[in-house]
Structure 1
């Protein structure tokens, strides 16, 4: 069970601050790292992998700094956002080269096993120059897994993958997390983060903006109304009764449903069933319309 600890870390390039006083803990399971372009995600991942030192603060793996720590490197697998492959090599040769760099006793067997994990056996003997972007992502994944690291760091791993490849990677990340590995990945494909990650870290403008699962983060946003969609046997009467209560801040009504802006969720959750019962209205649907990770992320970005 490996744990990465980032403690009061900042990283700057000249006068440009890429990461500013970030503290977070990445433990076993799957963690999604979210943030807009330029938020500092890649810089954080590079520091976690031990390829870049923090300007201030510490990045440790199980309590030991990762920068210039050979033992830490052997426990970490990195899938960078950049191509980071040699097009003249076959996929098999590329993964074997990484196995040899890690000093594995049987690099060929280790490479074959890692390639099988990412389902690239059929293309293993082709040159990487013939690969699609999604295939290159998968062969990078194999190279990162060849030494069976306890920590896997992936920077935008879903880029360029088709739907089938994405589903395969999602299943693989879930399995690795359930097996006790520490997996962190960044992605702009928010729906997939929502489906795969059990924990989320949000970085905005180089700062740590939020931590938790997306529902817990959304619950903290008490200054922004939650949006709920309701369908019933009498939407107009239900909307009129709901907007008279202080738990709501307004409603939008159309022919199919009513959308309610909720400012006091606990009161609202008690109000709806009792109100429907008292009015003799049958409830057909009560569901949140902005509980997606995208809405959470947009809100956090807007606060900065």
Structure 2
């Protein structure tokens, strides 16, 4: 059985974030166990069940926790006791890190002044506009919905235009429209060359956002890379495909003779389980042609982020 690979590539010279053999323990409790990875520009999803160590990793990256072993580097320098790194880094914590007595604008302005920005007022207004809070900027945050409070936190993290963004469950409390707007914003920021790490349990959103995933289980890095690449390494579980053709029944009869096919199921569409994704895909056109069947659609049905995540957590 080939195990999904954890591939801690050699640290890239332009890596914005790096963990090198990092562990964190509290007495006899190990929260993070010997994790290594490096991240450059783009969006990376940090995944794992509750208690897996995701928040501990984010807190070490943001300089709030000292690693018990190993190194956590931001732009090549230690994140611990390095206040200068906050010029390049923005953090959106999961907890309610806003003051209810401030307006949305005042919260963004406070963050701009803490960063010592030359034109704090202009920076605060720009951040408010980026998260689409202009219409509520003069209302107290205590009157905001949870989704609006999330956007206020993100405005505070963006006010100094950081190159690195760490976001812990940023979609909490957002309605579907707000989530789509936030996803579009994060994609734009990544396209500008920023490094964005998102910790989330909402797999569907990371499926659409992340070009890379890190899966943490019980404090260890279970897998890293694009989730479709990880899925292809899961050779102990058959790959599932949905097919549509001019004659699904005839095609099913022809497919069961191929050595890579574990099983077929006829329903609204034809479902096929194959042990070897590559050999099945290469053989399919010839099998259909020999059977006198026209193929209309071939779609993998288990190469989703949710499929990969569920597999890794249950192993």
TM-score bin (small chain)? over 0.9
Corresponding residue number in structure 2 for 1:167: 180
Pair 1:280-2:262 in alignment: no
Partner of 2:239: 226
Q: State the distance in 1 between where 2:15 and 2:246 align.
A: 53
Separation of aligned partners in 2, 1:6 and 1:23:
5
Report SS of the residue matched to 2:124: helix
Does the alignment pair 1:270 with 2:294?
no
Q: Measure, in 1, the Cα distance between the counterparts of 2:180 and 2:269.
A: 33
TM-score normalized by the length of structure 1? 0.96
1:298 match: secondary structure? helix
Q: Is structure 2 residue 119 aligned with structure 1 residue 136?
A: no
Match of 1:260 among 272, 282, 305: 272
- Which residue number in structure 2 is paired with residue 180 of structure 1? 193
Pick one of 225, 229, 241 that aligns with 1:216: 229
2:111 to 88, 93, 98: 98
Task: Report if the CA contact (8 A) 2:164-2:195 is conserved.
Answer: yes
1:56 alignment counterpart: 69
Separation of aligned partners in 1, 2:156 and 2:15: 20
Gaps (5+ residues) in structure 1?
none
Q: State the secondary structure of the residue aligned to 1:260.
A: strand
Measure, in 2, the Cα distance between the counterparts of 1:156 and 1:144.
14
Structure 1 residue 115 corresponds to structure 2 residue 128: yes
Deviations 1:35-63 (A, max 9, x none): 11111111111111111111111100121
Distance across 2 between alignment mates of 1:16 and 1:281: 59
Number of residue pairs matched by the alignment: 302
Which runs of 4 or more aligned residues in structure 1 lie more than 6 Å from their structure 2 counterparts after TM superposition?
none
> Is the counterpart of residue 237 in structure 1 residue 245 in structure 2?
no
Compared CA separation, residues 2 and 117, structure 1 to 2 (3 A): farther
Q: TM-score, normalised by structure 2?
A: 0.93
Instruction: Kindly indicate whether the alpha-carbon contact (under 8 Å) linking 1:2 and 1:151 is maintained by their aligned counterparts in 2.
Output: no
